Chain A
Amino acid sequence: MSSIEAPAPAGRALRVPAAAPRANMSRIALWAIVLGLCVMPFVLVIVISFGQKIEGAAWVFGFTPEHYLRFFVGASWPETTTTLYLNRLYYSIYYAVIASVIAVATAFPFTYFMTRMSRAAQSRWLVFLLATLSLSEVFIVMGWDILLSNRSGLPMLLRESGVTGWLKETGWFDVLREWGMANPRDVKFKTSVFATILTMSYLVWPYAVILLYPALSRLDQSTVEAARTMGASPWAVVRTVVLPTVRLPLIGTVFLLFVFLLGTYVSVTVFAEPAKQTLAISVYESVRGSTLNAPFGAAQSVILLITAGLCLWLGQVLVNRQGARG
């Protein structure tokens, strides 16, 4: 890996032999920084997940699979089996899948229309989107919390406008109660699966637009026009011309958003009912919160990491295969 024989498309002519040792030094320093800061935390999580918990509060390094066993079958296995943590993982995946699919499905037409606008208009939309994208999860949760609160949000609006009464008359109210979206007297959104997924898809919606933007803005407009001239309806054009060309970015975006949402913390703590909370919550509880079992928290993090990694890998495989075919 010496610097001399490495192919250097830009710099070969510029490279001066005397600079080579210094270049090597800085390369080593870079590797040290990246390995020490970017990779080390993940390595520690994996190592500590095999650590031994000592009664009290501490833990020591070790090599025990007990935390993984506890995750999959419960601490008192084989006498009894509990799937509490598998259930948490299920909800992590469930929320993340639905929220990312909704975000991409609604962001796709939006991005398509946006890329048809003038460059200046696109810039303005991008500023707006980036500002909301960067906005902290705590603020977004705050906003939806007010909007969905019983006192001043949507439930009040529904009540005042008579929609709640109408729902009761027509029997839809009982359906809502079955879905956990109404208490005996009113429509409620906190806590509900609906509110959790709504906030989560809101959270990643700007990301979806930003991720779809490059592909859609490079879309060859002449093929769309050709199809239109030949008499295809707008809907047929979208289905037969636009969607097939951006299929890969669409799939890729869903996967990326999914990975991003796997670790969502604030929305789930605020909007999901205790029985339907996710792995991110129990990771926090184990590492910093009430139960204080760092190795178990690390083991749960590893499971999250593996889920995320599998998903990124699967996305890559799909993209490669379809890329090769198309």
Chain B
Amino acid sequence: MKALVHLFMGLAALVIALPILVVCASALNGGRSMVFPPQDPTLMRFVEFFVSEPVWRGALLNSILIAFGSATLAVLIAWPLAYGVWKSGSGASKIVAGLGAMPFALPPIVFGVGLGFMWGFAGGLGDIWSGVVSHAVLFLALPLVTVSIGLQSIDRAHLDAAATMGATEAVALRTIILPQMVPYTLSGFFFALVLSFNEFIVMFFVSASGYATVTLQIFNSLRNGFTPTMAVAAITFIAVSVAVFTLIARFGDLPRLMGADQSKT
């Protein structure tokens, strides 16, 4: 029985890892075409992606800009929303938080189409800043959830004690709540960051070919066939994701963020 379980887990891991491994290995191809196993292995593709090809360098820069900008903005909007629900627990605060999480819960292509219309009217279609705002709204739900989970773990007795001793709400927020919330806020930030980095369809509609992120650039080159340089992009993205989630697991409580049982630690 135990062996069967191990076999099943191993098989699942293999199937999950297989396409990723194949993409990574393809980056070593010397020629222009993407074959596996790689022929004439070389690391030139890495140089192309990071240094010598302005198209890819520009796209990477846009991706980084949008990811950091939108994740920051998402955290800044999500904090008061989560705080409002936790603090007052009123119906209105729950509705506004629910509406804030809505774009993430519905098919992204519909949200992308809507954002395309909206930026068309408001101006900003095809500008980087509208891309930043769009992703911030799309991934608002992530910091909203992590911050809410964090707020639930705060011991209300501490707040009562602070109030008895004359602390105002602002002081209690600064001295009791915020310090405890750092890991949850950062987790939310990084979840939004990584997903923004990898997001495709909303950016597709919002960028209106005004600029390209790495995922857009890859899709644009799709009709000419995949090239090994794209695989370098994939490796970079996987490396970033693994690094970020390892950090979250190291400094935050990943099983708890994912909703695991608390009693078993």
Contacts and interface: CB of A to CB of B under 8 A. Distances in A.
Interface string A26-62: 1100110111011111111100100000000000000
Nearest to B208: A288
Given A136-B198, A136-B237, A137-B200, A41 B169 contact: no
A31 B100 CA distance: 9
Interface string A90-128: 000000000000000010011001110001001110111
Given A119-B264, A213-B260, A263-B107, A45 B96 contact: no
A142 interface: yes
Interface in B202-250: 204-205, 208, 215, 218-219, 222, 226, 230-231, 233-234, 237-238, 241-242, 245-246, 249
Interface residues of A, number: 94
Interface in A144-180: 144-147, 151-153
B90 to A, nearest CB: 4
Nearest to A44: B117
Nearest to B12: A110
Contacts of B222: 138, 270
A198 to B, nearest CB: 10
B22 A143 contact: yes
B137 A301 contact: no
B109 interface: yes
Given A259-B106, A265-B109, A106 B230 contact: no
Contact of B18 (A10, A45, A143): A143
Interface stretch (A12-20, A72-80, A184-192, A239-247): A12-20
Contact of A139 (B86, B105, B234): B234
B225 to A, nearest CB: 9
Interface residues of B, number: 95
Contacts of A301: 109-110, 113-114
B99 A34 contact: yes
Given A48-B117, A128-B16, 17 more contacts: A10-B156, A11-B87, A11-B159, A14-B167, A15-B169, A35-B99, A38-B99, A42-B111, A114-B9, A123-B254, A138-B219, A140-B19, A143-B234, A297-B113, A298-B113, A305-B106, A305-B110
Interface of A: 1, 3, 6-11, 13-16, 19, 26-27, 30-31, 33-35, 37-45, 48, 106, 109-110, 113-115, 119, 122-124, 126-132, 134-140, 142-147, 151-153, 202, 205-206, 210, 213-214, 217-218, 234, 259-260, 262-263, 265-266, 270, 280, 283-284, 287-288, 294, 297-298, 301-302, 304-305, 308-309, 312
Interface of B: 1, 5, 8-9, 12-13, 15-20, 22-23, 26, 34-36, 77, 80-81, 84, 86-90, 92, 96, 99-100, 102-103, 105-111, 113-118, 121, 133, 137, 140, 156, 159-160, 162-164, 167-170, 172, 194-195, 197-201, 204-205, 208, 215, 218-219, 222, 226, 230-231, 233-234, 237-238, 241-242, 245-246, 249, 254-255, 258-261, 264-265
